[in-house]
Structures are given as structure tokens and as C-alpha cells.
Copies of this chain bind each other. A is one copy, B any other.
Amino acid sequence: MIRLTTQRQIILEELAKVKTHPTASELYDMVRKRLPRIGLGTVYRNLELMAENGMILKLEVGGTQKRFDATTEDHYHIRCSRCGRVDDIDIPVIDSLVESAAKSTDYQILGHHVEFTGICPDCQKKPKPGLQ
């Protein structure tokens, strides 16, 4: 198993503190408050490594940046199409989707993810952009 260095431990702790599904650079900023000399590359390398080892989830949601999640149980997400914020959607995971899909493809299916899109509460309050 992967060695738990100070850097890895703190990255993991900071990730576990939040429900915001931070990006690598957001996490970098959080971690730097405790480890000011850590490099951005270290954050990327270890997030990747921890995701490969199943310690965290790497979310390949829409938008330009990958996001990370300390909750490794299977669950769904929603992304705000205005601001990019990502939150959990707490509905039961539908395992039968995979069985259903398996019948219609020659792929060997490994899993699935549902991503909802919408407008987050904060963005609903603000006026629509681009209308002057």
C-alpha cells in the first residue's frame, strides 16, 4: 500500500474537510496554509495516486478542471452550469442501469456515473448574466 507521507495525509485531511469537490488548485491553496512549501505538482501527483488506490474519487465532470472527492462510496453529482459548483445528489445509486446497459453493448462495463446539471441556489438569486 501507498506510504502515507505528511503531504499525502494533509491533502487527504483537507479534502475530507469539505463537501465542495475542490479542484487540484483549490486543494493546493487549502493545503498550502498548513504546508506552505508544498508544490502544485505534488498535489496533482498525489491526488492521482490516491485516486488510483481508491482512497479518493477523481470526478471527471463537465468543465475544464477535474475535481476530487473524499467520499468513495458510489454517488451522483450535480453541477451548476453557471458557476461550475458541484454538489452531491443523495438518491439511491441504480445498479440495474449497468445490467440494462450491458445488454445493449459489447463493452465490458465497469461502472457508471450520473451527472445532473442545473442552477445552484446562489446563482438562482443572481440575475442572469449577459442580458445587460
Contacts and interface: CB of A to CB of B under 8 A. Distances in A.
A95 interface: no
Interface in A83-101: 87, 89-91, 94, 97-98, 100-101
Nearest to A62: B60
B78 A105 contact: yes
A116 B109 contact: yes
Interface residues on A, range: 35 or more
Number of copies of this protein chain within its complex: 2
B119 A108 contact: yes
A78 B110 CA distance: 10
A116 B112 contact: yes
Contacts of A115: 112-113, 115
Interface of A: 60-63, 76, 78, 80-81, 87, 89-91, 94, 97-98, 100-101, 104-121, 124
